[in-house]
């Protein structure tokens, strides 16, 4: 059996162990009073083993120690070592969710030490958390509304969202948008680092309606985009103009998250409503098959290609359209070049708005509509820009383009009209 298969076997086996609590098995709880949590700057497998031994209780200790041995024999920074490292992180997350985890501070140091042995800090610096060592204590604390799970392995559900804990407000989740985790993580076209697995972790944000989500590797690009959902009902009288804003990207294209329930802010599963470790393990192992375990609509969400910072539910009462690339003179039936571009922003602060559907019409100097061919309706991307690459007209004369729009899924938001500079269409010959 190869090393990757062994790492998967170890992670799979541990879930069976988590079906019983430590007390049920009569096992002693781990002791922490003699542990000094420190961080090194280079890969140190002895440090990984030491921290793992004090974070987990028997028999998880031996399983994880065997996994650390696989990492070391594979060699630091190799794909097999990364595969095993992610499996150990999966075990950490499963232990937290089942209530059998150790001291969060030790778990935080253990996670940082694993990262140091999975990715070269010089060659793969973009994979590291923005601040390193990262503080994983809140993500690893069950009662603090943290989140800590891995995705992308064969033993993990290809569609299951990652949720914050406990399942109450402030509550948030991340899921692939109409796709699967393996597909959005596929490294072939995007250059995402092998083995196409990620750690998803988070903690409550700076406001009651925000959540700070991150992934490791930090430079992971999702295509199709993933959906980040907040526990905000998007269809109340006060939230019909609300959208999700990402701290760095701007206001994201609107999504009505089908995996959050706004009333209770907890997922409804086909496995029952009560919680126990065995139910978690069964879901984790997909023993019930690849069915959709979350099926109730609810949360306010946005689609994003990257997960690196705080996500907030913000009001967007109106949107302004601006031509950032104006139409230029052309000839009849020839494409306007360069492509016309329009940016959508929130006028109060200039934040870009994704998911605005913009339609362009052609008018002459008297405001009369004329023939405009090509793709005349486009939607702004995550950067708030819509590009019209094939516009042309068979009419000749002086014209302007008029842009109107609406926000997809948010009809209550007012989108202002924009008019381009004047340009000329001359006869073809």
What is the share, in percent, of the chain residues with pLDDT greater than 70?
81
Q: What pLDDT is recorded for position 21?
A: 38
Q: What is the pLDDT of residues 112-131, one digit of tens each?
A: 999 999 999 999 999 999 99
Asked if 204 and 142 touch (Cβ cutoff 8 Å), the reply is no
Q: How confident is the model at residue 264 (pLDDT cuts 50, 70, 90)?
A: low
What's the burial of 123, exposed, middle or buried (CB within 10 Å: 0-12/13-18/19+)?
A: exposed
Which is nearest to 313 in space by CA: 297, 296, 301, 298? Answer: 301
What does pTM read for this prediction? 0.83
Q: Please, are residues 82 and 108 in contact by the beta-carbon 8 Å criterion? A: no
d(CA 123, CA 125): 6
CA distance 367 to 85: 64
- Fold observed for domain 318-426: Immunoglobulin-like (2.60.40)
What are residue 400's DSSP bridge partners? 363
| DSSP assignments along 148-199, one per residue | EEEE-STTS-SSPPEE-SSSSSS-EEEEESSS-HHHHT-HHHH-PPTT--EE
Q: Quick one: which of 109, 105, 111, 187 has its CA closest to 148?
A: 111
Domain ranges of the chain: 1-124, 145-272+280-315, 318-426
- CA 98 to centroid of chain Cα atoms: 23
Examine residue 302 and say whether the peptide bond preceding it is cis (omega within 30 degrees of 0).
no
- Of 357, 361, 353, nearest to 402 by C-alpha is 361
Give the per-residue pLDDT at 288.
Answer: 34
Annotate 278-307 with b (16+ C-beta within 10 A) or e (fewer): eebbbbbebeeeeeebbebebbbbbbbbbb
**Is the backbone peptide bond immediately before 326 cis, with ω within 30 degrees of 0?**
no
Q: Is the pLDDT of residue 81 over 90?
A: yes
Three-state secondary structure readout of 110-146: HHHHHHHHHCCCCCCHHHCCCCCCCCCCCCCCHHHCC
Note whether 6 and 86 are within 8 A (CB): no
Q: Is residue 273 classed exposed, middle or buried when 0-12, 13-18 and 19+ CB atoms within 10 A define those classes?
A: exposed
pLDDT attached to residue 313: 93
Of the listed ranges 152-156, 228-232, 269-273, 365-369, the least confidently predicted one is: 269-273
Within 10 angstroms of residue 42's Cβ, the number of other Cβ atoms is: 11
pLDDT in tens, 402-419: 999 999 999 999 999 999
Determine the Cα–Cα distance for residues 200 and 93; give it in Å rounded to an integer: 10
Q: Which residues contact 10 (CB under 8 A, 6 or more apart)?
A: 63, 64, 66, 67, 70, 84, 87, 91
């Amino acid at each position: 059996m190869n090393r990757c298969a062994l790492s998967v076997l170890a992670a799979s086996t541990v879930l069976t162990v988590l079906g019983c609590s430590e007390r049920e098995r009569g096992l002693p709880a781990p002791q922490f009073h003699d542990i000094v949590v420190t961080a090194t700057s280079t890969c140190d497998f002895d440090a990984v083993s030491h921290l793992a031994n004090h974070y987990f209780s028997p028999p998880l200790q031996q399983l994880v120690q065997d996994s650390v041995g696989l990492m070391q024999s594979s060699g630091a920074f190799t794909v097999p070592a990364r595969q095993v490292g992610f499996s150990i992180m999966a075990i950490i997350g499963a232990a937290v969710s089942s209530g059998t985890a150790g001291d969060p501070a030790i778990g935080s140091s253990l996670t940082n030490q694993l990262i140091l042995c999975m990715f070269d800090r010089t060659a793969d610096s973009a994979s590291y958390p923005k601040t390193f060592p990262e503080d994983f204590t809140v993500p690893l604390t069950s009662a603090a509304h943290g989140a800590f799970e891995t995705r992308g392995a064969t033993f993990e559900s290809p569609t299951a969202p990652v949720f914050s804990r406990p399942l109450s407000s402030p509550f948030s989740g991340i899921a692939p948008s109409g796709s699967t985790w393996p597909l959005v993580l596929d490294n072939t076209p995007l250059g995402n680092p092998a083995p196409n697995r990620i750690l998803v972790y988070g903690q409550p944000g700076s406001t009651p309606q925000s959540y700070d989500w991150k992934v490791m590797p930090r430079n992971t690009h999702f295509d199709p985009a993933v959906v980040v959902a907040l526990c905000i009902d998007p269809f109340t009288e006060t939230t019909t103009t609300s959208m999700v804003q990402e701290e760095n990207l701007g206001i994201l294209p609107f999504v009505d998250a089908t995996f959050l329930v706004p009333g209770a802010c907890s997922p409804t599963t086909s496995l029952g409503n009560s919680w126990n470790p065995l139910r978690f393990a069964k879901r984790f192992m997909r023993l019930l098959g690849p069915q959709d375990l979350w099926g109730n609509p609810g949360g306010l969400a946005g689609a994003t290609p990257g997960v690196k910072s705080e996500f907030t539910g913000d009001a967007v009462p109106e949107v302004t359209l601006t031509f950032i690339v104006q139409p230029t003179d052309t000839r009849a039936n020839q494409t306007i070049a360069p492509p016309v571009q329009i940016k959508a922003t929130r006028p109060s602060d200039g934040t870009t708005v994704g998911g605005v559907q913009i339609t362009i019409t052609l008018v002459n100097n008297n405001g009369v509509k004329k023939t405009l061919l090509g793709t005349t309706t486009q939607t702004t991307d995550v950067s708030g820009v819509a590009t019209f690459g094939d516009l042309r007209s068979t009419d000749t004369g002086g014209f302007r383009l008029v842009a109107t729009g609406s926000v997809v899924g948010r009809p209550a938001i007012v989108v202002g009209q924009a008019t381009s500079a004047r340009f000329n269409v001359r006869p073809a010959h």
